[in-house]
C-alpha cells in the first residue's frame, strides 16, 4: 500500500501537456543564456514541436536556453505552455539543422567560443518521464551550476513524458540506441576533443547499449574516444550491467556511478521487478571489484525532493561540494579512476573499483 500511495502521488504531477516547447524571444533579455545542441530521435509534430513519436532519423537542433535570474542552485522550473522567463527556464531561440555537416560546423563554432577554445563536449542522455525540453533544461542547469566549460549536447530520445509511460519509455530506450551511437560518432567526427557522456536513470541502460554496439562494431573505440562516463541513479538491472561491461576490452576512464539508498523511484522499480535493488541503489560494490569503476553514494544529500532520484542535479549542498573539488573536466583529462572525488567521506578500494560514500559538511 505504501508503494501504491507513492506511485499515485507521483502520478498527480503528470496531468499537464509536457510536450509544449514555446519559444519566448524576450527571454534573451531577461535571463542568462546557455546554448545547448541537441540530437533527437523524437518525431517532429506538425506544429514544429518534438513530441513522443519515434523517428528513425536523427535530427540536430540548436537551442538558446534562458535561465531565470535569482534562481536557487539545483532548481528547474519550466512553466510548461506559459513559461515566465523571470522565474522559469525557457527556450529563447531555436534552429534546426538540415544535415549532420551543418551540425558539425555549428559544433566547431561553439568550440571557438569556449574558454581557451576548448573542444570538450558533454553529452547528456535523459531518463524516464522526460520531455524534449526537460533534456535541454537539465544539461543547461548542470553546466551552469557545476561550472562545466564544455559544449553542452543533449540526446532527446522519445520518452512519453508521463509517469504512467514507463513501459513505453523502456521500449523507446531500446529503439533509441542507433540514434545515440550516431550522435556520439558524429560529435567525434567533428574534431571534438574530450567527450564525456552523462546519463540519468533509464537513460543509463540506453547509453550502455549504445556504447556496447560501438564496441562490438569497432573494439576499443569507446575507450579510445570517450574521456569519461557518468551514470546518475541508473535504473538498470545489476546482471544486465555486468553482461554489458563484459563486451568491452576496456571501459572508458573514468567510469563513475552515482547511487543512493533513499532513491524512491529505484526502490519502486526494483519492487515492480521483484528485485532487491537496481544498479543506482547498489549498497555494496564488491561484486564489481574487478572493474575500474568509481561507485559514489550520495544518500546523505537526499532530502525527499523528486523522489531523491537526482541528488547530483538538485541538491544545492552537493553541487556546492562538487564545485569545490577539482573541475570535472580537468579530472576527466587525467584518465584515471578515482581522480575526481577529493571530497569528505568514506572510501573503500576494492581491487580495481572504488566505493565512496560522500558525507555532508556537518558529518565530516
Domains of the chain, CATH where assigned: 2-19+32-75+91-363 (3.40.50.1820)
Report the pLDDT value the prediction gives residue 81, as an integer from 0 to 100.
Answer: 87
pLDDT of residue 321: 65
pLDDT tens-digit series, residues 305-324: 666 787 777 777 777 767 66
Q: 130-144, 315-329, 336-350: which has the highest mean pLDDT?
A: 130-144
Binning pLDDT at 50, 70 and 90, where does residue 37 land?
very high
HEC per residue, the chain: CHHHHHHHHHHHHHCCCCCCCCECHHHHHCCEEEEEEEEEEEEECCCCCEEEEEEEEEEEEEEEEEECCCCCCCCCCCCCCCCCCCCCCEEEEEEEECCHHHHHHHHHHHHHHCHHHCCCEEEEECCCCCCHHHHHHHHHHHHHHCCCCCEEEEEECCCCCCCCCHHHHHHHHHHCHHHHHHHHHHHHHCCCCCEEEEEECHHHHHHHHHHHHHHHHCCCHHHHHCCEEEEECCCCCHHHHHHHHCCCCCCCCCEEEEECCCCHHHHHHHHHCCCCCCHHHCCCHHHHCCCCCEEEECHHHCCCHHHHCCHHHHCHHHHHHHHHCCCHHHHHHHCCCCCCCCCCEEEEEECCEEEEEECCHHHC
155-184, pLDDT tens digit by residue?
999 999 988 899 999 999 999 999 999 999
Q: What is the mean pLDDT of the chain?
A: 86
Query: What pLDDT does residue 325 have?
Result: 56
pLDDT of residue 339 exceeding 60: no
Amino acid at each position: 500500500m505504501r508503494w501504491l500511495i507513492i506511485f499515485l502521488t507521483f502520478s498527480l504531477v503528470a496531468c499537464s501537456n509536457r510536450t509544449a516547447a514555446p519559444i519566448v524571444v524576450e527571454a534573451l533579455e531577461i535571463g542568462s543564456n546557455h546554448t545547448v545542441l541537441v540530437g533527437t530521435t523524437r518525431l517532429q509534430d506538425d506544429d514544429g514541436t518534438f513530441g513522443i513519436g519515434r523517428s528513425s532519423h536523427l535530427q540536430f537542433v540548436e537551442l538558446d536556453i534562458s535561465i531565470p535570474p535569482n534562481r536557487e542552485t539545483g532548481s528547474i522550473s519550466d512553466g510548461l505552455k506559459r513559461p515566465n522567463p523571470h522565474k522559469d527556464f525557457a527556450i529563447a531561440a531555436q534552429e534546426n539543422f538540415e544535415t549532420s555537416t551543418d551540425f558539425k560546423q555549428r559544433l566547431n563554432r561553439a568550440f571557438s567560443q569556449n574558454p581557451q577554445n576548448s573542444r570538450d563536449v558533454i553529452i547528456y542522455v535523459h531518463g524516464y518521464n522526460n520531455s524534449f525540453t526537460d533534456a535541454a533544461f537539465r544539461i543547461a542547469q548542470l553546466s551552469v551550476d557545476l561550472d562545466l566549460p564544455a559544449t553542452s549536447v543533449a540526446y532527446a530520445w522519445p520518452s512519453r513524458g508521463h509517469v504512467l509511460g514507463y513501459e513505453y519509455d523502456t521500449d523507446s530506450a531500446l529503439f533509441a540506441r542507433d540514434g545515440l551511437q550516431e550522435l556520439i560518432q558524429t560529435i567525434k567526427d567533428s574534431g571534438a576533443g574530450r567527450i564525456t557522456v552523462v546519463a540519468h536513470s533509464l537513460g543509463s541502460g540506453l547509453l550502455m547499449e549504445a556504447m556496447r554496439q560501438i564496441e562490438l562494431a569497432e573494439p576499443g573505440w569507446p575507450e579510445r574516444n570517450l574521456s569519461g562516463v557518468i551514470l546518475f541513479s541508473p535504473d538498470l538491472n545489476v546482471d544486465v550491467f555486468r553482461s554489458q561491461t563484459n563486451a568491452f576490452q576496456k571501459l572508458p576512464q573514468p567510469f563513475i556511478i552515482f547511487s543512493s539508498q533513499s532513491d524512491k523511484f529505484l526502490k519502486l522499480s526494483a519492487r515492480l521487478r521483484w528485485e532487491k535493488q537496481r544498479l543506482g541503489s547498489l549498497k555494496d560494490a564488491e561484486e564489481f571489484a574487478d572493474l575500474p569503476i568509481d561507485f559514489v553514494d550520495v544518500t546523505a544529500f537526499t532530502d525527499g525532493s523528486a523522489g531523491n532520484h537526482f541528488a547530483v542535479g538538485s541538491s544545492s549542498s552537493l553541487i556546492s561540494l562538487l564545485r569545490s573539488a577539482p573541475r570535472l573536466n580537468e579530472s576527466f583529462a587525467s584518465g584515471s579512476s578515482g581522480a575526481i572525488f577529493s571530497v569528505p567521506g568514506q572510501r573503500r578500494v576494492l581491487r580495481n573499483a572504488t566505493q565512496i560514500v560522500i558525507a555532508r559538511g556537518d558529518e565530516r
